[in-house]
Each structure stands twice: as C-alpha cells, then as structure tokens.
Amino acid sequence: MTDVVRTDAVRERVWLGANFWSRAGGPRMWTDRYDRAVVREELAVLAEHGLNMTRSFFFWPDFQPEPDVLDEDCIARFADFLDAHEEAGMTTIPTFIVGHMSGENWDPAWRQGRDLYRDVWFVGRQAWYVRELTARFHAHPAVAGWLLSNEVPIYGGEAPHEAVAAWAQLLVDAVRAGGGTQPVSIGDGAWGIETTGHDNGFRLRELAEVSDFVGPHVYRMESDQIRQHLKTAWVARLCEIAERPIVLEEFGVTDAYVSPQGAASYYRQQLYGTLAAGAVGWIAWNNTDYDDLVAERPYSHHPFEMHFGITDSTGAPKPALLELQRFSADLEAMDAAGLHRPAAQAALVLPSHLAEGYPFSREPEREHIVAVGEQAHIAAQEAHLPVDVVREVADGGIAPGYDLYLVPSVKQLCGPSWRQLVSLAENGAVVYASYCAGETDAQRGPWWAFTEELFGVVTAASYGLVETIQDQTVTVKMTGDLGALRAGDRLHVRAAGADNARAHLPVTVTSGEVLATDAHGRPVLVARRHGRGLAVLCTYPLEYLASQLGRVNPEDTWRLYDALADVAGIRRPVVLDDPEVFAQTLEHADGRRFAIFASQHDRPCTVTPEVASGALRTLGGEAVAEVALGAYGTQVREIR
C-alpha cells in the first residue's frame, strides 16, 4: 500500500471522535476492572451524538509485563473493545507506547532507566511489542489507524532528531511487519521546532517520511480571547510543513477551568476554526469524567484531569458533546471528505530560521517568529483576508505567484529572499515588511538586505543601539493614501514587549514615499513603487507589539492589512464590516463553496456579509442575506 493510499484513507472517512478511557477504570481499564457493558454504553452515547471513532490506548505496563511477554487477559479485553466498536458502527486508532497519561509517567517494571530511543535492546523490545499487537489486531474492521505513542516527548524525553527519526522508522516498520496497512502516525503532539521554535527532536518534516498524518495536541493558555480561539487553527497552519493530512489528535477543556458554556464556546471555535484551516479530523480529550477515580493516580494529584470529559461520570452528555454533534451534522451536510481550503492570493511569510535551526540561531528568535506570525494571522482574519502560510526555503527563497506578501515584525530572512522580494514587487506584487530587532542581545538589529532597493530607505540607527519606543500608544498618522486608509486617518497601537524588540527603526528616506508618520513626525510607513508593484515598509513592529499584550484583539493592524489587500487587488470571497466576525471559505471537489462564520463577540450579533461571487444559502438551501450568531457563535452557509 503506497503512502498516497494511506494518506487518502485519512480523508475518506472524516474522523470525529474522542480519546477513550472507560469511566470504570481509567488507564487501568484493561485489568479485571474492564466492564464490557459500561464500555458499550459509553460508545453508544458517542455514536448517538455523531461521533464515528475513538483513539484508544494500550497501557504499556499492563500489556507488556515482561520484555518478551504480552498479557493475554488485556489482549482479550481489547479484542472485546474492538468488537464493541464494530457493534456501534465505530472505529478506533490504538496507541502503542502509553507510558505517559494525564500528568504522570508509568514505566514497564523492566525498563530500568533505559533510553527509550537509543538503547538498542530496549528499542528492539518496543518493536517486538508493536509488531505482535499489530499482528493480533490488524485484520479487525474496527481498527482505522495506528499511533506509535502518547506524548512521548514527555515520557521518553527529548533526543537528537536523528535518533528520534530512526526510532520512529523502526516502530513503523514493526507495524508493517505485523500486517498493519492502516494509516500510522507518531502521537508526539507536534511540539517540535517547526511549530514552537523549540527543537525537542521530533521534526515534522523528518517524521512525515514514515507517517501518514500529523496529530497536534493543543492545550495552550493565552492572555487574549481571540488569540485563544485561533490558537489551534494557527498550530494547524504551522503543521502544514509536513505536507500530510492534519488530524487534531487532542484538544479540549476541563470543567475545573471553565463553565459549561465556556467549554461549549471553546469547542465550537476550535472545531470550526480548524475546519477552515484545513484539518480533516478531530479527536476530543476525552470521552468521560472520572469522579469515581478521584483517589487514584493520576487524578488524586491532578484532580482537574478528571473533568475533561464530553460526558460526565454517569455517561450523560455535556455541552461539549452537543457541540460535536452539531459539528457532525454540518460535516455530513457539506460532505466534508471532499472539502479543501482554496488557494489564497496573499502569502504570510515565515522565515526559514524557524524550521532550519541554522548555526548560532537561538530558540527565542524562533519563538518570536511563531508569535508574530500568529498575530499577523489574526490580523488577516480580522481583515477577512485569506492567507497561505508560506515558509521561506532553506538558505533563501519564497514561493512566487502571490499578489500580496506579508512579512511581519521580521528580524531575519535569508539574503536571497530579500533580493527576491525586489523581483516580486517588480513583477506586480505588493510586498509588506515590518521591522523588529528581536528580543535577544545578540546582533540586535535588522538582518535585512537590499533595503534601499526595495523600500527606498537607508537605516539611520546607531550601531549597537535600538531606538526604544517611549510612547505608551503608538499613533500612526496617514500622510498619504494607501487603499482604504486615507490621508488624515490614524491607527493606534499599544507598545509592549522586551526593550530590544519594543523599538522602531529610524530611517532616512531616499527614493521612497512617506505614507504615515508617528506622533514625533518620524516615518512609519514608507512605500516605493516598482513598476506595477509596490513595497511598503513599516518601521514599527506592529505585530510584535500586539503579540505581547493581553486582551488586545482586535487591534488596528487589521486595518493596515485591509488596505494592503485593496492595493494588491485581492478579491476577498466574503467581507464584513466587523473585524470580530471571521468569514472563511472552503471548496468542495464537486464545485460547491461554503462560508464559515465565527463570531468573537461575547454577545449575539447579526451581520450582513458582502459576497464577491454568488449569494448565501443555509445548508438546507434557503436564501439568506444576514447571518445571526450567538455569543462566540458559528454558522456555515453555502455560497451559490
């Protein structure tokens, strides 16, 4: 079976489900506490609410009690578990190396401190375990895929990426040797250098060589509501670097942190936001609460972990499950397996320094790229501007063919990319870049080239110094016209962040035109015409400043992006006059188009979208001009 076939199998039946431990036993459910009747009750509730699968777990200390022994009682119970899925019309993705769970690590008794990835004998025992379990269960119709591990960087620790890639290859080979033809992935959470800036050894591009989908686990905390709502969608966009289908393998909230209504709105925003971002599967954490296990580890010392369930400890549905049910109905109405995100006319450019780990590059510099890229992604959403997340290739190079290039709060691009931006502008594109010195002391300042050729300015900074922003609020006064921004208009951005990065770039304008100044008369926006194209420099790190603030969005950077989109001639599919209602589109292979609306208002609202081509209809076919949204509400409409 080819990689393409297995990858397509991920998309054929959209996975919508829950991570599963029975309330009768939690992680120890495979012991004599296994209750086949309770398991069937739990699966029935999930199926009744539109879920079609689970992610399940071979609890490693129980399944492999000795290096060359499998526990046959556990295996028999798992076989019954698979039968229960088939009876319910569901499938499952078993997970092999389960030593970490909900705030605690459990070793097989015989591990004795061995390195998970580099001890040859220990890796061999893992491969044997994976092969034997696969051989037992690969033919069962309820098995939809395989996962090597559960958040293994927490359990096995970090390691050199070469060792991690070799470990993953050996375990995937064991799946195939055991007869497993289903899709397989790693289960690591997608927390590596390409998505966080921290190199834990689990590099998406390398692991993509042996895996059929990427499975991010997202539980990040935020200080801004819109950033929190879009966080998982942004992670999904970063995972695109692997060029594999993206399955949201873990996400959810505990009742200890939010109200039932808050949990519902969080689920709603994550589901529809990641659908619009291109995800093809969703597996909630998790199926039930564990009140009866309060005295058992890990819940005894991590009690908040008891209440991540989409059902309570009696099996009753919670608001999150009702959101999944509604989402399931919308997926069915759209025939979601045929959906894709249409190509955009605008590129959000991420420097290759994030993913490549160049010599003497620093983790804070990479984290900076993630943070400012995320804030730019938010501003684009607020401007109803679809963007492709375009990564600079190693040592320089940016994909051509876009009408607008956004390079937000950038400290560094590779030299050839700066030269290419000049060429892109000469060929008709609008190129926007905002300056940032970065947060570290090392070589602080713009790692830029061809600044005068591109923007018509030369730097007026003093060597080794940054010009710290002294104003609490930066006022950007337009002195010329730029799209919808007209002379006299003002943007306001609060200043924040570390001293090095909370700085502007003093410039001397040569062949550029000043389009905006700050309160002190210094250039903020400078543009230079390149034939049919235009290059626009922002001397303030607008995206960085916003990324450092809580409760900041929407902030005025979206107005600048809106203006740049106008100048670039971008025809946005759906536009609203409200930056707090997002509108994103998906296309179906059969030609149908859909718009996904997501409100960031904490109260009901009604909007009247402007559709570039066609008119809105409900999924039932009724023509509508307005879209009514509840607090943090979502709606799907067809565009005909």
Q: State how many domains the chain has.
A: 3
Whether residues 315 and 350 share a domain: the answer is: no
Distances (CA, A) of 243 to 205, 240, 386, 639: 8, 5, 19, 28
Side-chain-side CA neighbours of residue 223 (13 Å): 9
Question: Which of 153, 241, 169 minimizes the C-alpha distance to 202?
Answer: 153
CB 539 within 8 A of CB 526: yes
Name residues whose C-beta falls within 8 Å of residue 474's C-beta, 6 or more positions apart in sequence: 492, 493, 494, 495, 518, 519, 524, 540, 542, 545
Task: Kindly state the helix (H) or strand (E) to which residue 155 belongs, with its residue range.
Answer: helix 152-155
Name the domain boundary from 546, 567, 588.
Answer: 567
Residue with tokens 């200043």: 495
Residue 361: which CATH number?
A: 3.40.50.880
Whether residues 304 and 416 share a domain: the answer is: no
CB 565 within 8 A of CB 384: no
Position 3 scores a pLDDT of 67
Whether residues 256 and 372 share a domain: the answer is: no
Position 340 scores a pLDDT of 97
Whether residues 444 and 556 share a domain: the answer is: yes
CB 258 within 8 A of CB 308: no
- Give the model confidence (pLDDT) of 70-96 as tens digits: 999 999 999 999 999 999 999 999 999
Whether residues 309 and 244 share a domain: the answer is: yes
Whether residues 370 and 333 share a domain: the answer is: no
> Rg of the Cα trace of the chain?
26
CB 460 within 8 A of CB 508: yes
Whether residues 146 and 110 share a domain: the answer is: yes
Kindly report the pTM of this predicted structure: 0.97
CA end-to-end distance (rounded Å), the chain? 39
Residue 78: which CATH number?
A: 3.20.20.80
Q: Given strand 581-588, what is the order of strands in its sheet?
A: 339-340, 581-588, 593-599, 634-639, 616-617
Q: Which residues pair with 280 in a beta bridge?
A: none
Whether residues 547 and 614 share a domain: the answer is: no
Position 445 scores a pLDDT of 82
CB 294 within 8 A of CB 317: no
Distance between CA 519 and CA 526 in Å, rounded? 16
Distance between CA 560 and CA 155 in Å, rounded? 45
Distance between CA 428 and CA 404 in Å, rounded? 9
Task: Report DSSP state, residue 633.
Answer: -
Distance between CA 531 and CA 569 in Å, rounded? 15
Region of 108 on the Ramachandran plot (φ > 0 left; ψ -120 to 50 alpha; else beta): beta
Q: What angle do CA 472, 446, 389 make, to 5 degrees?
A: 85
**Rounded-to-10 torsion of CA 614, 619, 623, 624:** -90
Residue 625: which CATH number?
A: 2.60.40.1180
Name the residue type at position 189.
Answer: G
Whether residues 319 and 427 share a domain: the answer is: no
Ordered DSSP codes for 252-320: ---TTTS-HHHHHHHHHHHHHHHHHHT--EEEES-S---GGGTTSTTTTT-GGGGG--SB-TTSPBPHH
Residues of the chain with pLDDT under 50: 1
Position 4 scores a pLDDT of 65
Position 12 scores a pLDDT of 77
Name the domain boundary from 538, 567, 596.
Answer: 567
Name the domain boundary from 567, 600, 617.
Answer: 567
Whether residues 361 and 302 share a domain: the answer is: no
Distance between CA 362 and CA 174 in Å, rounded? 36
Distance between CA 295 and CA 286 in Å, rounded? 19
CB atoms within 10 A of CB 309: 28
Position 7 scores a pLDDT of 74
Backbone angles phi and psi of 366, in degrees to 5: -70, -40
- Give the model confidence (pLDDT) of 389-410 as tens digits: 999 999 999 999 999 999 999 9
Position 581 scores a pLDDT of 98
Distance between CA 290 and CA 302 in Å, rounded? 12
CB 627 within 8 A of CB 325: no
Whether residues 177 and 308 share a domain: the answer is: yes
**3-state percent breakdown (helix, strand, coil) of the chain, nearest 5:** 35, 25, 45
Residue with tokens 């894709």: 340
Q: Is the four-CA dihedral 64, 69, 75, 76 of positive or negative sign?
A: negative
Tokens of 551: 């409760």
CA 635 from chain center: how many Å? 21
CB atoms within 10 A of CB 139: 10
Q: Which residues pair with 17 in a beta bridge?
A: 53, 283
Whether residues 383 and 529 share a domain: the answer is: yes
Distances (CA, A) of 577 to 473, 476, 606: 25, 21, 11
Range of the domain at 180: 3-337
